[in-house]
Chains A and B, each alone.
Chain A
Amino acid sequence: MTEALLRLEGVTKRYGATLALNAVRFDLKAGEVHALMGENGAGKSTLMKILAGNVERDAGRIILDGREIEIHSPRDASAHGIAIIHQELNTVPEMTVAENLALGHEPRTRFGLLDRHRMLADAREKLARIHSNIDPRRPLGSLSIGMQQMVEIARAVSEDARVLVLDEPTAALSRAEAQELYRLIEQMRHAGVGLIYISHRMEEVWQLADRITVFRDGTYVGTGRKDELGPSDVVSMMVGRSIDNLYHHEPRSPGPVVLEAKGLEGDAVGPVDLELRSGEVVCMAGLIGSGRTEVARLIFGADRRRGGSVRIHGRESDPADPAEAIRDGIAMVPEDRKVQGLFLDHSVENNIAISSLDRLTHGGVVRRAKARASVLEQMKRMRLRSNAVDLPVKALSGGNQQKAVLARWLLRDSDIIILDEPTRGVDIGAKREIYEIIDALARSGKAILVISSDLPEAIGISDRLLVMRSGRIVQDMPSRAATEEEVMLHATGARSRTAPTPMGVAS
């Protein structure tokens, strides 16, 4: 066995109270493609950010060629020959390909001016090394994402990168572009570069990788050669948890259909058909980027629909903006509480009352006593301390902030409640309370659609699961019978959509 090119030992990273990486290890040999897999939040991206010098580790060693190295900045990383190809590219779209390739070390003439001739010649040479025929004079932004990625790779190759990290590189690529990327990966492997390949796509991993390492919840689970492992082994390594009684709820009995979407289409999703019943909790599972949030935003009128229809209680609902959707009886707790949900400087009362002011006013004038009383009633229901009512909402903990957003919609009393990642970044106590509220809401006859990337949660709290992949719902199944493995197989496409499944399509 050859000595590892890169070895990570005991790498730990903490964000506040959350342990993002707990003493993980990883090793990479020269001329190898090593896939790193794990669910959302497993710690893969944190590890890559540490390698890239964007994030400082709290503990652990990074050993390159048997020598321990320090990476404190992106500059350090590239000095050690470590290059990262992100999904968000580190390039300047307004500048030409050649300018981007020369960024930071532009060639100069004797007079200290930019040497355009040499810059262009250098760029041609760099692109030739990866057998690309991109015209270096074009503005980078005019190229497809795939071609922009090629430019990034050309830069990495030109800097003689020895470790190349590819983070979901094919997420935005067409099939042909992906093939081109695979060819390049082979080329670099033969040149002795070590490649770390982060991907959720099973087929791709099986086509490219020599070895696979799995992380889960910030810990190292295991590593195996491709020929030792099967896709289902990897999936169970990725999920490998049991559902505890955190999610326990009495069986619910869903009522009539409240919301019915047909052929819903947005810029990147659809067509999607779905139904929500009164008294039912439906969870949308799937990987980040599979289009779950987009579907929710289409229903809520936050994004423009390209096609399809939504009926609520049998009546057509085509909201031009969220204000109209709210009038139609829909509520949405957005994904990013701080950016999309809260007015951080404003009082808890104003944050809760904002969506129900039309009911709390008389001739446009706020009925203050009534507003205050209604807000306090919902705060009590959410078990928020009543003396927080005048505090700025930013003074609350993450869990209490989320409860304040929920209280807003409890006050609105909408029939359909969409919750996008309602427990992300929330402590376990508040999580349990949010589950109880969801259950109580369903029992009171609301239709609830939850988006969750936490698989045990998605299965545990719901009556029915919709699994999304690449902008479509690929599976609709009762939660009672679902296993994490099953959901993961559908979400990653390890089981083809066309393959027969024992699970029937509910309703």
Chain B
Amino acid sequence: MNTQDPTVTPLALDKEGFDFAKWWDRVGILIVLVALVALMSAIAPNFNRVDNLLNIARSISINAILAAGLTFVILTGGIDLSVGSIVAASGVVAVVAAIAGVPAPLAVLLGMVVGAACGLVNGALTAYLALAPFIVTLGTMTFLRGLAYTITEGQPIVASDLSFKDLGNGYLLGIPVPVLLMAVVYLVAWFILERTHYGRHVYAVGGNAQAARLAGVRVNRITTSVYIIAGACAGLAGVIFAARVISAQPTAGTGYELDAIAAVVLGGTSLAGGRGRIIGTLIGSVILGVLSTGLILMNVPFFTQLLIKGVVIILAVAIDSLKTRPMLFRPGAKSARRGA
């Protein structure tokens, strides 16, 4: 076999002191949010009224829940395009079950199980058959949309006395139920990712799948599981959506996968995997929601809103990419300091 080039000993960058990249990682996105809110409050007089803020929170909850699940997938370096279609499929199944007389809690659970099952298919195909997740989930995205149309025969099924409609429209202690559910999802997701054994393994798979396997991480299981989590979150979002519109809509969630990906990336999670935080995803969702609502309050035409949103997404990703790049090779870095 080939002889080896002498391996280059990399320059050590054991450095201390202020690190802009690290600082931006922690608070950069938050500053963007605060600036945006300040701007909106200044321009749109009704913006920071409590009822408006709660409305914003409710309007972002579905996208935020999708994005929370998707964060797990993207942290492993994967992608899930099917979450939007899962919203439709799970919502349709839950509504149909409720109409058929299934008790509300079970119908809701069924919706989530449908979502998780879709995730299991996505994950197993990606992990065990080593198929590209982009293609696998593109396929299930199409399939599940077809399934939603098939079950509903292409027509929305309106269920005016839907047993679980409070899930979308109710309030608890003055807070919309979808907002509470979103909060629970984020608390649980944060705990799992930041505090558990499993969470560390998710980061490890995304950071370097080969190294993770050799370090004893069951890479295939982790990969499968993150799609199940994304599917279950999408299932929950689908049930909330159905409850909100009190009907089964085969077109529900169309394009939501892209908004969710935008929120995750805006929140600083690397599409390459291994880097990012769930709190960033929440802020990313809020930014997108605030931006939409603010632009509506300012009477900006819908077409223009899209232009602005597109620019914001690209800007955010550009900042993210620029801050990580110049770190690696810095001329004149000091050589290794060995610890005492």
Contacts and interface: CB of A to CB of B under 8 A. Distances in A.
A171 interface: yes
A355 interface: yes
Interface string B1-16: 1111111111111111
A391 B14 contact: yes
Interface of B: 1-16, 195-198, 200-201, 203-204, 207-208, 210-218, 274-275, 328, 335-340
Nearest to B12: A397
Nearest to A453: B4
Contacts of A167: 2
Interface string A191-223: 000000010000000000000000000100000
Contact of B3 (A42, A334, A350, A385): A42
B8 A18 contact: yes
A399 B201 CA distance: 25
* Most A-side CB within 10 Å, residue of B6, B15, B195: B6
Contact of B213 (A38, A321, A427): A321
Contacts of A364: 196-198
* Most A-side CB within 10 Å, residue of B1, B218, B275: B1
A111 interface: no
A323 B221 CA distance: 12
B75 to A, nearest CB: 12
* Most B-side CB within 10 Å, residue of A88, A345, A387: A345
11 contacts: A16-B11, A18-B7, A44-B3, A45-B2, A340-B214, A343-B212, A345-B275, A346-B207, A394-B328, A397-B11, A427-B9
B203 A398 contact: no
- Sort A-B residue pairs by CB-CB distance and give the 6 closest, nearest first: A289-B1, A425-B7, A385-B339, A397-B336, A343-B207, A397-B12
Nearest to A323: B216
A400 interface: yes
A355 B1 contact: no
Contact of A383 (B200, B204, B339): B339
A365 B1 contact: no
* Most A-side CB within 10 Å, residue of B198, B201, B216, B274: B216
Nearest to A426: B9
* Most A-side CB within 10 Å, residue of B13, B16, B196, B208: B208
Contacts of B340: 383, 385
A365 B196 contact: yes
Interface in A392-443: 394-400, 408, 424-427, 429-430
Contacts, number: 172
A323 B8 contact: no
Interface in A341-387: 341-346, 350, 353-355, 357-358, 361, 364-366, 368, 379, 383-387
Contacts of B274: 343, 345-346
Contacts of A385: 14, 337-340
A396 B14 contact: yes
Contacts of B275: 345
A8 interface: no
Nearest to B218: A323
A338 to B, nearest CB: 9
B197 A323 contact: no
A322 interface: yes
Q: Is the interface of B mostly helix, strand, loop or mixed?
A: loop
B211 A38 contact: no
A475 to B, nearest CB: 19
A173 interface: no
Interface string A271-300: 000000000000000011100000000001
A405 to B, nearest CB: 9
A146 to B, nearest CB: 16
A136 B49 CA distance: 76
Given A341-B214, A350-B200, A365-B195, A20 B1 contact: no
B257 to A, nearest CB: 26
Nearest to A361: B197
B11 to A, nearest CB: 7
Contact of B6 (A20, A88, A387): A20
Contact of A340 (B196, B211, B217, B328): B211
A41 B200 contact: no
Given A87-B2, A383-B339, A427-B9, A343 B218 contact: no
Contacts of B203: 343, 346, 350
Contact of A46 (B5, B207, B214): B5
A354 B2 contact: no
A140 interface: no
A386 B339 contact: yes
B4 A396 contact: no
Contact of A400 (B210, B217, B218, B336): B336
Contacts of A391: 14
Interface string A300-312: 1010000000000
Contacts of B336: 396-397, 399-400, 427
A485 B319 CA distance: 57
B226 to A, nearest CB: 16
B23 to A, nearest CB: 14
A465 B1 CA distance: 21
A16 B215 contact: no
A332 interface: yes
B71 to A, nearest CB: 16
A41 B11 CA distance: 21
Contacts of A426: 9
Contacts of A38: 3
B3 A40 contact: yes
A354 B217 CA distance: 8
A18 B3 contact: no
A154 B6 CA distance: 32
A395 B13 contact: yes
Nearest to A320: B218
A398 B7 contact: yes
Given A171-B1, A323-B217, A345-B274, 20 more contacts: A17-B9, A45-B4, A45-B5, A198-B3, A218-B6, A287-B1, A289-B2, A321-B213, A322-B215, A340-B210, A343-B211, A344-B207, A353-B200, A355-B215, A364-B196, A365-B195, A366-B200, A379-B339, A391-B14, A397-B12
